[in-house]
């Protein structure tokens, strides 16, 4: 269904992306920009959990929602990574690894679906862990300060985003290995 509560939450995630980026163009203190972007990102990221939960709970799952949800996630992550690169809080190579994997695996999943082999590249726990680590790292890097007087969010965000990049490569290799038999059968 195009407009039900879970799908509207997914649309809200897409609509909120310019707000997260736009915060950094406001004429306010950088610490205020960082806090606002962090809060927005966390709230928007939580809608990813909420839309899936509500879709199952309310029996409002749909093919369109299943398509739109990962697209919204990828837009959100890519926008945040680009902002972080622009702010010199993330090395461009790390962003390219993460973004490149998302493009490659999305294309692989699309192709596998077209040939009727989508199950071989279904979402795996490794991909979920990678996403979770990313979704913790990004707000830390957006905040870019000391949280509660104890936590250096830039340091922890950097460590977590590097772990995420490693998991990104690992999960891409995993999905490619799962798809390899189908790829070999089709290329011959």
Domain boundaries, the chain: 1-88, 91-188
| Nearest CA among 162, 145, 161, 164 for reference residue 153 | 145
Q: Is the pLDDT score of 38 beyond 70?
A: yes
Alpha-carbon gap, residue 88 to 154, rounded angstroms: 11
Instruction: Tell me the pTM.
Output: 0.89
Average pLDDT over residues 37-49: 92
Whether residue 123 has pLDDT greater than 80 = no
> Which region among 39-43, 141-145, 156-160, 172-176 has the lowest average model confidence (pLDDT)?
172-176
Tokens of 80: 């945040």
Mean pLDDT for 32-56 is: 89
pLDDT at 180: 83
Out of 3-12, 55-64, 118-127, 134-143, least confident range: 118-127
Q: Is 145 exposed, middle or buried (0-12, 13-18, 19+ CB in 10 A)?
A: middle
Per-residue pLDDT at 118 exceeds 80: no
């Amino acid at each position: 269904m195009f407009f039900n509560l879970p799908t509207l939450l997914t649309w809200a995630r897409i609509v909120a992306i310019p707000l997260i980026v736009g915060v950094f163009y406001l004429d306010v203190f950088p610490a205020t920009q960082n806090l606002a972007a962090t809060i927005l990102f966390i709230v928007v990221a939580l809608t990813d959990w909420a839309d899936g939960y509500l879709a199952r709970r309310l029996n409002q799952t749909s093919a369109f929602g299943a398509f739109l949800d990962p697209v919204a996630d990828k837009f959100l992550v890519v926008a945040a990574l680009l902002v972080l690169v622009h702010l010199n809080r993330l090395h461009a190579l790390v962003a390219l690894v993460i973004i490149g994997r998302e493009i490659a695996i999305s294309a692989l999943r699309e192709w596998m679906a077209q040939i009727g082999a989508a199950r071989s590249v279904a979402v795996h726990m490794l991909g979920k862990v990678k996403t979770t680590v990313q979704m913790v790292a990004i707000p830390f890097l957006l905040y870019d300060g000391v949280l509660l007087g104890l936590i250096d969010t830039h340091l922890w965000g950097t460590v977590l985003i590097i772990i995420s990049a490693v998991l990104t490569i690992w999960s891409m290799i995993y999905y490619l290995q799962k798809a390899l038999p189908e790829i070999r059968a089709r290329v011959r």
